Structure 1
Amino acid sequence: MGKLLSEIFPEILQYAVTIITISIALVKMNWLIFAGIVVTFPLVIFTSDMIAKKINDLARKRRGKYDELADIALDNIEGIEVAKAYAIEETLGLRVSSKAKEILKNEYSRNRYQALANGIVLLMKWVPSVGCSLIALFLVLKNTITIGEFMSFLVLFGKISTSLSELPFRIIDAREMLISVKRIEELLCAPKEVSGDYKGSELKNVENIIELKNVSFSYASGNTKCFENRILKDINVSIKQGEKVAIVGASGAGKSTLLKLLCGFEEVDEGDYYLCGQVFSKWDINEARRLISYVPQDSFLFPETILENLAYGAKNIDIEKVENACKKAGIYQKVCELPDGFNTEVGERGANLSGGERQRLSIARAIYKNSPIILLDEPTSALDEQTEKIISKTISENHENTVIIIAHRLSTIKNVDRIYCMDKGEIVEVGNHEELIRKKWNICCIIW
C-alpha cells in the first residue's frame, strides 16, 4: 500500500499531466501531428490494457493459491501426530507439492504474459514514433512547419511517447497492487457484530435469567441464509438464576450452536432471546458477555503462562482466587508440580499440556471469571473419572451461578435441575434425570 501511494500513483499522475500539457502544445503547433498521435497511441494503450487484465486475473489467482498453500501447510503441521499415526506423511506431502506446482504454473503464465506485454508495448511504441515523424517530415517538406518547429516536435514527442508508453505499465502495477489492497479491505470492512446500548450494570430481579421464545436459526451459505436447513427450530427454554441445566442429544442435534447463540456469536433468525429480562439484541454486546463464562468444546489457550491464561484481561490478578479456581477445576495439584508453577508457558494453543489439562484450565478460567452464567460445552470429555467427579461436584455445589452444560456422560449431569433433550434442532423432551429415565423409548435413553 505504501509503494502504491508513494510511487505508483504519483508516477501515473506525472505521466497524465505530461501527456495533457504536451498534447495542448502539439495541437497549437499543428493539429495534423497531434491527430497522428491520437490515432496510433490508443492502439498501444488498448493492447496493453487487454494484456493487463489477463495479468491481473493471474495475480488474483496467485494470491488465492498462496493462501491455500499456507492453509495446507498449517493443517499438515497441526496434524503431524495423526499423519504419523496413519503413515500418511507422503500423502500430505503430495498435497503441498501439488499446490506448489499449481503456483509455479500460474507464475509461469503470469511471467510469460508480463514478458509478452513488455515486448508488444516496446514494439508498438515505434509505430506512433515512426508514423508521427513521417507526418512531421512531410509537413516540413510542404513548408507547413519550420525546421525549428520540427525539432521542437521531436523533443516534445520524445517526452509524450515516454509517458504514453510507461503509463500502461504503471496502470498494470497499480491494478495488481489494488488486488492485495481489496483483499485487506474485505477483512477491514467485515460486518461488525450487532450491539445495542443497554448496559445492565446490575442484574435485574427477573424470573428467568435466560429465556428463548420460539427461536430458530440457520447458518449462512455464502452471504445468504439457508432457511430450509434450520439448525435450531422453535426452541423454547426458560432458565432461572442459579439453576443447573443440561442439554443432551446426538451429534449434530444443535447443542453447541445453541450455546453460541446464548453467547451472541450468532444471531437468531426468528423468535426472541432474552438475557436478564432484556432482548439480547438491545444489549451492549461486551456488557452481555461479561455476564457469561464460556468453555468451548475445543479448549483454547493463548501462548502465555498458565497464570496469564487463567486471568486473561484482568487488570489486577487475585492469586488466591486463581488457586481456588484451579482447585475447583481439579488442576491445582498438577500446576504446583510443574517447575515454574503458574508461570509455566503453555506453548502454542497449549501444546505443552495434555488435552485433559487444557480442558481443566479452560474450566478454571471460567470459574475465575465468576460470571453469573457459565456455559460448558462437553467440559469433561477429555477427563478421567476422578477428575470428572471433582468437576461434577463443583457444578452441583455452585448455588450462585447459572450453569448450562452440554454432556454425553450421565454422571456429569445426573444431579442438574433440568435436562433438555434435543434431536435434529428441536427440543423433544424436558425433565430432570429421574423423570426422563422413567420414560420408555425416549431419546435420552438412546444417548445414555
Structure 2
Amino acid sequence: MKALAHLNKYLVKYKWYLILGTVFTIISNLFGIIPAQLVRYALDLVKDTLDVYFLFKGSSLQANLYDIFAFSILLYGILILIMALLKGIFLFLVRQTLIVMSRHIEYDLKNEIYAHYQTLPLSFFRRQNTGDLMARISEDVSKVRMYVGPSIMYGINLITLFILVISYMVSVNAKLTFYVLLPLPILSLSIYFVNTIIMKRSEELQAQLSSVSTYVQESFSGIRVIKAFVREHEQLRNFVKQSNDYRNKSLKLTIVDSLFYPFIMVLVGLSNVLIVFVGGQEIMSGRLTPGNITEFILYVSMLTWPVMALGWTTSQTQRAAASQQRINEFLNTKTDLVSTKNLEHEIAGDIHFRNVSFDYPDTGIKALKNFNLSVKSGETVAILGTTGSGKSTVANLLMRLYDPTEGDISIDGIPIKDFKLQSLRGQMGYVPQDVFLFSDSIESNVSFGSTEMSFEKIEQATKDADLYANIIEFPEGFNTRVGERGITLSGGQKQRLSIARAIARDPKILILDDCLSAVDTQTENTILNNMSRIMKDRTSVIISHRVSSAKLADFIIVLDEGRIVEQGTHELLMDQNGVYKELYEKQLQGEEV
C-alpha cells in the first residue's frame, strides 16, 4: 500500500465524492438489512397466527383472522419491495459518486504522468522504450483506477455491511453470531498468504505487457523495413512468443485468483451449517425463534458477496499497487536540467562555448573535447565534420537538451543555466537531423512553433523553404495531412517542411542540423539563397557534412572526433590545404561526376 499512498492527494481533492459515496453506501446497506428483519417478523407472525387460526376453526372469526393475517403478510411484502427499490436507488448514487471519482482521478493521473514526461530530459527517453512509456500511462493507470473506483467502493460496502450486520446479529444472539463468524479468521489468513503471490505475479504480468507493447510499437513503426526485407513471418513468430509469455503469466495469476471463490463458498456453506445446527439448539432452549434462523441465513447471504468481493478487491488492489509502483518509478525521476534563476530574457544571439566537453550519459561516448566557440549576434557559423564528429551534440547543448560535462555555455553573456528553459527554447528555431512531423495537416506542422500564426506567415515560410510549389500541387493544399511521421511526403519534402516550421516562428537563433541531406544540390542552392535573407540579422548555426552548406557562413569550424581541427573563413581554410580543402575538393568532384 506504500506505492498507492501517492493517490491520497487525489482522494483528498475529491473528498466530497468519497464522503457522499460512503454515506450512500451506509444508507443502501440499511435498506438491505431491514428486509431480513421484516422476513423474521413475517415468519414469526405466520407461526403464531397459524396456531390461533386453527383454534377458531369453523367460526366466523377465522375468516376475519385470515383477512388480517393476509393483509399483514401483504404489507410486509410491500415493505420489502419498497426497501429493495430504495436500496437500488442509493446503490445507483453510490456508483455515481465513487465510480465518477475514480474516472476523475484516472484523468488527473494521466495528465500528471504526461506532464511529467514532458519535463524529463532527452537522456531519459533515450533509455526508455516507447511501448513501456505508453503502457504506464494507459494500462497501469487503468489498473490503478480499479483501486480508486470499484475496490474502494466494495471495500467501503464490506466494512459498513459488516458493522451493521454483525451489530444486529449480536443484538439477537451473541452465541450464534460467534459460530457464524468463526470461519472468517481462516479467510483472513488465506487472503494474507495469497496476496504475496498475487503481488509478485502482477508485477511480472505488467512487465511482460510493456515488453509486448514495445515490440508491437517498433514493428508498426518499422513496417516498411519489415516488408522490404520480407520478415513478416519472423516478426509474427516473435510476437506469438511474446504473447505466449504474457498468456502464461496471465494464466498463472488467474489460477491464484480462482482459488478465492470456491474457498469462500465453502466457508459460506459452513456458516449456514453452523446457523442451522447451533440455531436449532437455541430454538429448542427457547432463546430463538425460527424467524431468527431465517434472518441469520439472510444475513450470511448478504455477507456472501462482500466477502467474495474481498478476494477480488484484494487482487485488484495488489495489481494497482504493482502498477502504481511502476508509475512512481517515472514520477520520482527528476530532470537535472533545472534553471537556477528562471530568467526570461529576450536574447540578442551572442553565443559562447568555453572549454566545453560532453560525455553522453547513456553510452559514455565522449562527443566533445575542449570545444570553444564564439558567435556574435547576427553572425552565421558553419560546423562541418564527418558522421560521429560531434556536430549534432553542439546543437543539443545549445538547445540545452543536455548540460555539458565540463565547461560552460552562455548566451548574451548570461550562463545558459540561468535562463528559463521554455523562454530559451522559445526563441530558437531548430531543424533536427532526424526529421519528425506530426500526423496532421501541413499548415498545422508549419505553425507548430506558435499557436497564433497568420496564414501569410505560414505561406511565406514554405516559400523560403522551397516547398510552396509542391504544396499547391496537392489536392488539399495546406490542408493535406502528412500521415504518421510525414510518411506521405518524400524525404526532401519532409526536410523542407521541417525548415519551414523552424523559420516560421521567427527565432533569434536558428539551428540547422544537417537538414539538407535529403535534397539535391539544385534544391539546396535554392533553399540556401532564400535562407540568406532569413539569416540576415539573425544568429545562425549551420551543421552539415556538406561543404556547400557552409557558403553562407561568416566563418567555419571543422570537427573531428569531438575536437576542432580547423576554423576560419572559406578562403582562409582553402589556403591552409588541410581537412576542409580536402573535403571540399572531394565533394566538388562528386557533384561534377
Q: TM-score, structure 1 length as denominator?
A: 0.81
**Range that drifts further, 163-172 or 234-243:** 163-172
Distance 1:436-1:42 versus aligned 2 partners, 3 A rule? farther
Partner of 1:328: 464
Contact 1:249 1:444 in 2 (8 A): no
Contact 1:231 1:424 in 2 (8 A): yes
The equivalent position to 1:198 in structure 2, one of 321, 343, 356, is 343
Query: Counterpart amino acid of 2:547?
Result: L
3-state SS of the aligned residue for 2:515? Answer: coil
Query: Counterpart amino acid of 2:539?
Result: T
1:46-445 correspondence runs (5 A): 46-123=189-266, 146-147=287-288, 151=293, 163-180=306-323, 191=334, 194-195=338-339, 196-201=341-346, 203=347, 209-221=350-362, 229-312=365-448, 314-396=450-532, 398-436=535-573, 442=579, 445=582
Contact 1:248 1:408 in 2 (8 A): yes
Distance 1:352-1:19 versus aligned 2 partners, 3 A rule? same
Query: How far apart, in 2, do the equivalents of 1:7 and 1:377 lie?
Result: 51
Partner of 2:154: 11
Contact 1:41 1:128 in 2 (8 A): no
Distance 1:356-1:229 versus aligned 2 partners, 3 A rule? closer
Q: Offset of 1:295 from its aligned partner?
A: 0.3
Query: Counterpart amino acid of 2:509?
Result: I
Query: Counterpart amino acid of 2:224?
Result: E
Query: How far apart, in 1, do the equivalents of 2:482 and 2:409 lie?
Result: 37
Contact 1:48 1:121 in 2 (8 A): no
More helix per residue: 1 or 2? 2
Query: Counterpart amino acid of 1:194?
Result: V
Q: Offset of 1:244 from its aligned partner?
A: 1.6
After superposition, what is the alpha-carbon deviation per residue over 1:154-181, rounded to whole angstroms, capped at 9, x for unaligned? 7766666764454232121233245445
After superposition, what is the alpha-carbon deviation per residue over 1:241-281, rounded to whole angstroms, capped at 9, x for unaligned? 12221223343333223312211222344432212222222
Contact 2:268 2:300 in 1 (8 A): no
Q: Offset of 1:296 from its aligned partner?
A: 0.7
Q: Structure 1 vs Structure 2: percent identity of aligned residues? A: 28
After superposition, what is the alpha-carbon deviation per residue over 1:309-350, rounded to whole angstroms, capped at 9, x for unaligned? 222354554444434333332222222333333333322222
Distance 1:446-1:334 versus aligned 2 partners, 3 A rule? closer
Query: Counterpart amino acid of 1:420?
Result: I
Distance 1:42-1:427 versus aligned 2 partners, 3 A rule? farther
Query: How far apart, in 2, do the equivalents of 1:444 and 1:21 lie?
Result: 91
Q: Offset of 1:297 from its aligned partner?
A: 1.0
Q: Offset of 1:390 from its aligned partner?
A: 1.9
**Range that drifts further, 27-36 or 17-26:** 27-36
3-state SS of the aligned residue for 2:193? Answer: helix
Which structure is larger by alpha-carbon Rg, 1 or 2? 2
Distance 1:158-1:364 versus aligned 2 partners, 3 A rule? closer
Structure 2: gaps spanning 5 or more residues: 1-101, 104-145, 587-593
Query: How far apart, in 1, do the equivalents of 2:369 and 2:472 lie?
Result: 47
Query: How far apart, in 1, do the equivalents of 2:151 and 2:445 lie?
Result: 45
Q: Offset of 1:373 from its aligned partner?
A: 0.6
Query: Counterpart amino acid of 1:198?
Result: L
Distance 1:353-1:439 versus aligned 2 partners, 3 A rule? same
Query: How far apart, in 2, do the equivalents of 1:34 and 1:240 lie?
Result: 87
3-state SS of the aligned residue for 1:312? Answer: helix
Q: Offset of 1:88 from its aligned partner?
A: 1.8
Query: How far apart, in 1, do the equivalents of 2:386 and 2:207 lie?
Result: 37
How many residue pairs end up in the alignment? 436
3-state SS of the aligned residue for 1:97? Answer: helix
Distance 1:159-1:410 versus aligned 2 partners, 3 A rule? same
Distance 1:214-1:109 versus aligned 2 partners, 3 A rule? same
Query: How far apart, in 1, do the equivalents of 2:214 and 2:470 lie?
Result: 35
Distance 1:233-1:132 versus aligned 2 partners, 3 A rule? farther
3-state SS of the aligned residue for 2:440? Answer: coil
Query: Counterpart amino acid of 1:215?
Result: V
Contact 2:283 2:289 in 1 (8 A): no
Distance 1:32-1:125 versus aligned 2 partners, 3 A rule? closer
Distance 1:7-1:82 versus aligned 2 partners, 3 A rule? closer
